[in-house]
Amino acid sequence: MDTLPKGGTITALKPQLKHKNRLSVFIDGEFAFGLDADVVAQFGLHVRQHVDAALLDEILCSEEYKRACHRAFRFLATRARSQKELEDRLARYEYPPALIARVVAKCKSLSYIDDRQFAFQYARSRVVQKPLGPELLRRELQKFGIHKALRDEAVAQVYEENSPLALALALAEKRIARLRDLPPEKARARLIGFLKRRGFDWDVVQQVLEVCFE
């Protein structure tokens, strides 16, 4: 910021060769900074226009917001994201908290992020792609910044649609094939540990043991 001009007259607005939607701004014959074409249009910038320090600051704040939005949109284009994921991503670029909050609000207004939709979609796909128990799913949703009430709601719904016992039995059937050469007690202990690590509670684990070790 120290190298930027404190004010002066715009002497040229030149399209950038490698970035068609950006223009190089020259003030008093010297390159000052690059701007998104939308920011140039927003302020109606033109050659021979005088810009003071206050206006320059406003212009550059708008440019920073525009760049942050572009980064956010690219990040969100790859897959659904939680609000926390977006906030963490923008923080990596050292944007100030107020700007991050503004970008997040913009993304929410465009329905680009929605923690409720994210939580339910993630829960459903996670259970189908790699079955796990309710406790582990809650922990995973927590890492994405999903608040407790919404975590509980998403978990409750997904396990109404997918029985924890059925999921645990399916996992156990695959796992037990690897344990068949072990003594029964050791195989039992290994299966208990496996199912507990996958987030299934003791009631479900006990029912699985009754089926697998009749």
For domain 8-109, give the fold: Arc Repressor Mutant, subunit A (1.10.10)
* pTM for the model: 0.84
- Domains 8-109 and 167-212 are alike in CATH topology: yes
H or E element that contains 156: helix 148-161
pLDDT digits (tens, 9 = 90+) for 107-145: 999 999 999 999 999 999 999 898 999 999 999 999 999
> Which class does domain 167-212 fall in?
mainly alpha
3-23 confidence digits (pLDDT tens): 677 889 999 999 999 888 999
Angstrom distance (rounded) from CA 149 to CA 147: 6
- The full 3-state SS of 82-137, as one line of letters, equals CHHHHHHHHHCCCCCHHHHHHHHHHHHHCCCCCHHHHHHHHHHHHHHHCCCCHHHH
Domain ranges of the chain: 8-109, 115-161, 167-212
Please state the separation of Cα 7 from the chain's center in Å. Answer: 39
